[in-house]
């Protein structure tokens, strides 16, 4: 009986520890400042920085500050949200300023994220945008 209790407690500790390690690794991988090289169908090629952070208490949702270079000041507050599942990023349809954006992306490795999305300004024809982000 003691052996079963010890085995159960050891298993629970191992599951908790592994979950904690995986969460920390994912957070360290995505949180931080990223350099964006953007190809925008309307605005051409642009380079700028964004900050990515996890939503408090939710390890599957990130906030991307200065998205589309719409809030380039230090301590930017304007952002979009996206969901992260494994290496996939999904940007649900949402509005930022007068832009409606929607798309997806992939976390290539610890230092690269690729995004592909549409940017619809004022309800017009959506422009295609691709962005390659590298960890700063």
The whole-number pLDDT of residue 101 equals 98
Residue with tokens 């690794």: 25
- Does the pTM exceed 0.75? yes
The candidate with the shortest Cα–Cα distance to 118, out of 135, 86, 96, is 96
HSE-up (13 A, CA, CB side) for residue 24: 6
Q: Which residues of 4-38 are buried (b: 16+ CB within 10 A; e: fewer)?
A: eeeeeeeeeeeeeeeeeeeeeebeebbeeebebeb
pLDDT at residue 19, rounded to an integer: 43
User: What is the model's pLDDT at position 45?
Assistant: 98
**pLDDT by position in tens, the chain (length 136):** 665 554 455 554 444 444 443 444 444 579 999 999 999 999 999 999 999 999 999 999 999 999 999 999 988 999 999 999 999 999 999 999 999 999 999 999 989 999 999 999 999 999 999 999 999 9
């Amino acid at each position: 009986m003691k052996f079963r209790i010890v085995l159960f407690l050891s298993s629970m500790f191992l599951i908790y520890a592994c979950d904690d390690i995986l969460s920390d690794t994912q957070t360290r991988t995505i949180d931080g400042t990223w350099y964006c090289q953007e190809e925008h169908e309307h605005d051409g090629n642009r380079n700028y920085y964004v900050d990515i952070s996890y939503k408090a208490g939710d390890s599957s949702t990130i906030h991307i500050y200065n998205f589309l270079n719409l809030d380039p000041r230090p301590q930017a507050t304007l952002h979009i949200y996206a969901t992260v599942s494994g290496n996939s990023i999904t940007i649900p349809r949402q509005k930022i300023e007068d832009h409606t954006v929607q798309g997806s992306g992939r976390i290539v490795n610890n230092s690269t994220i690729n995004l592909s999305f549409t940017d619809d300004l004022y309800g017009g024809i959506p422009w295609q945008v691709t962005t390659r982000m590298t960890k700063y």
